[in-house]
Structure 1
Amino acid sequence: MTILDGILEDNKKFVESFEGEEMSHHAQKKLAILTCMDCRLIDFFEPALGLERGDAKIVRNAGNSIVGEDAIRSIGAALYNLGAEEVLVVGHTECGMAGADAEALKEKMLARGIKEEDIAKYDIAEWIGGFDDEEENVLNVVEKIKNHPLIPEVPVHGLIIDIVTGELKVLKEDY
C-alpha cells in the first residue's frame, strides 16, 4: 500500500461519517495567519489559538518566512478578497529552518539526482530561507509584510508558539 492509498482510504471513511455544511469562504475571525508547515502543528496550532474551521486564512510554509512573493500574494488575497482585516505571523520554537545549512542541503540535492548546474542557478541559502533565530525571523517577516507596497495598512502582529506547550508569546503587537 502506498502513502496515497492510505490517504484515500482514510478520506473515504471521513466522507462516509462527515456531516458537511455550507460555509462562507471569508475568514470569520477576520484573520490571515502566516505560520510554519511543521507537522507538529497539525491538530495543535488551531486549538491553541482558539480557531475552528472557517475562522482564519492560514498560509503555511517552511519557517513562516517570506521568500519570493507567494506568501505575500496569499496574505494580499486574504486581505482584499477573503475577509481578513488583521495578520498574525506565528513562528514556533524548535523550528527546523533555524540554522538551515545551505551546503548540507546542496549535498542532499546532489545525492537525489539534482544536477550541479541547476543548483548553481540559485543562491541556495536564500532559496531555502533559513534563519538563525525563530523570534528574530518572526519580527523580520512582520516588517516585510508591513513594508510591502501592495499590502494595505493593517495590524500585523508577531508571535511565537511553544511547540511543546502551545503557549503563545507576543513579540510584536501592532494596532
Structure 2
Amino acid sequence: MSEPTTTTPADFDDLLAANEHFAETFDLAGFDGVAHAGIAIVTCMDSRIAPLAMLGLHPGDAKIFRNPGGRVTPQALEAIVLAVHLLNVNRVLVVPHTRCAVASNTEEELQRRVGESAGVDASWHDFNVVTDQQAALEHDVHVLRSHPLIGERALIGGFMYDVDTGRISRQA
C-alpha cells in the first residue's frame, strides 16, 4: 500500500476563502439543534440531492443523514433514534434516488472501478450495492417502523427522488 497523501497549507485555500465569504453573511447562529419542522431525512450522499430544498425546508428544520444509497444503516438508525427522542423529530423520510451508483452497478463492478482508480486491489471492500431499490426501501421503512425506540413515536415514509426532475414520489 502507498503512503497517505500529505497536504500543503494551500491545498484547501479555495475552500477557506469560500468559507470566509460565507461567514461574512452567516445568519444561522443561535440555532438550538432541534428539528423545528420535526423532520428527519435519510438519503444518499449524491450531490444532486438538496434535502432541505426538495421539501421546502430551511436550515434548522430537519435532521439529515446521508450515505451511499440512502440506506438505513446501523449508523443511520442510531441517528434516527437520537433525533426522535432528543431532537424533536416526529416524521422520517427515507429517500433513495434514481440513477444511483450503488443501485446501478454490481459489487464486482464497483470494486473494479475503485480498484482501478486507487491502483490497488479493492475486491475485499464491500460497497453494499442495492440490487432492488424498491425492496431495499421497503425493508428500511420496515426497520424504522418496527424499531422499539422509533416505530410508535414517528411517522415513517419511503420515497424515491428523481434526479432528473427533482420530484419525490411515495413508495412505502
- TM-score of the pair, normalised by structure 2: 0.81
Moved more, 141-150 or 7-16: 141-150
Q: How far 1:110 sits from its partner (Å)?
A: 4.6
Residue of structure 2 aligned with 1:50, choices 35, 41, 56:
56
Partner in structure 2 of residue 22 of structure 1: 30
**Aligned with 2:103: secondary structure?**
coil
Moved more, 102-111 or 137-146: 102-111
Aligned letter for 1:9? A
Q: How far 1:115 sits from its partner (Å)?
A: 6.5
Q: How far 1:10 sits from its partner (Å)?
A: 0.5
Alpha-carbon spacing, 1:20–1:168, altered in 2? closer, same or farther (3 Å): closer
Partner in structure 2 of residue 167 of structure 1: 167
* RMSD of aligned Cα (Å): 2.3
Could you tell me how far apart the structure 1 residues matched to 2:107 and 2:77 are? 24
Paired-residue identity, %: 32
Partner in structure 2 of residue 83 of structure 1: 88
Partner in structure 1 of residue 101 of structure 2: 96
Aligned letter for 1:60? R
Report runs of 4+ in structure 1 exceeding 4 Å deviation: 108-111, 113-116
Contact 1:26-1:54 at 8 Å conserved across structures: yes
Unaligned runs of at least 5 residues, structure 2: 1-9
Alpha-carbon spacing, 1:71–1:19, altered in 2? closer, same or farther (3 Å): closer
Q: 1:99-118 to 2 correspondence within 5 Å? A: 99-108=104-113, 110-111=115-116, 112=118
Partner in structure 2 of residue 74 of structure 1: 79
Could you tell me how far apart the structure 1 residues matched to 2:97 and 2:121 are? 33
Alpha-carbon spacing, 1:76–1:14, altered in 2? closer, same or farther (3 Å): same
**Aligned with 1:6: secondary structure?**
helix
Alpha-carbon spacing, 1:149–1:23, altered in 2? closer, same or farther (3 Å): same
